[in-house]
Amino acid sequence: MAVERTLSIIKPDAVAKNVIGDIISRFEKAGLRVIAARMAHLSQSEAEQFYAVHRERPFFGELVGFMTSGPVLVQVLEGDDAIARNRDIMGATNPKEAAPGTIRADFAETIDANAVHGSDAPETAAQEIGFFFSDEQICPRG
Ligand code: IDP
């Protein structure tokens, strides 16, 4: 298994619920390490750029509105198979379809306000990490 990095966002709904610690604990229990983290309140333009791939989707406006509605925690997670492992513990996009015990099943209610974001492939992970963090802001563990 390769050591990978992935971008995680704890979204405004989960930050508002004050469950940042519970969610980070899930990452750590799954063997993922936080190697960069910062709070951010995304501007309209940042959210539009970050989700540019969804620009043509009918829910784009709703998604940007939600992601700018409050602060988020952006993080880089590192570990074996980090991209797939993070997606596994996040659960399905729609919390109603997410497997029991996943973050979205436990902390989210709706498909738009679904608690967490996680990169879906190595190329998008590299791009998304670079969107939020410079190399100096990333602190790999030895
Ligand atoms: P993912 O976050 O599980 O990778 P994507 O399909 O990449 O899911 O969608 C990105 C985000 O867009 C989702 O996490 C969710 O917040 C939002 N989204 C996806 N589908 C819908 C929808 O049908 N209505 C509203 N928001 C949606």
pLDDT band at 141 (very low <50, low <70, confident <90, very high): confident
Q: What is the dihedral of CA 56, 66, 100, 74, to 10 degrees?
A: 100
For residues 58-64, average pLDDT: 98
pLDDT tens by residue, 24-47 = 999 999 999 999 999 999 999 999
- The owner of tokens 């074996």 is 80
Three-class SS state of 134: coil
Three-class SS state of 9: strand
Say what the pTM is.
0.97
Ligand 1 lined by 114 (C-beta under 6 Å): yes
pLDDT band at 64 (very low <50, low <70, confident <90, very high): very high
At 56, which amino acid appears?
A: E
Question: Does residue 117 carry a catalytic annotation?
Answer: yes
Residue of 10, 14, 117, 119 marked catalytic: 117
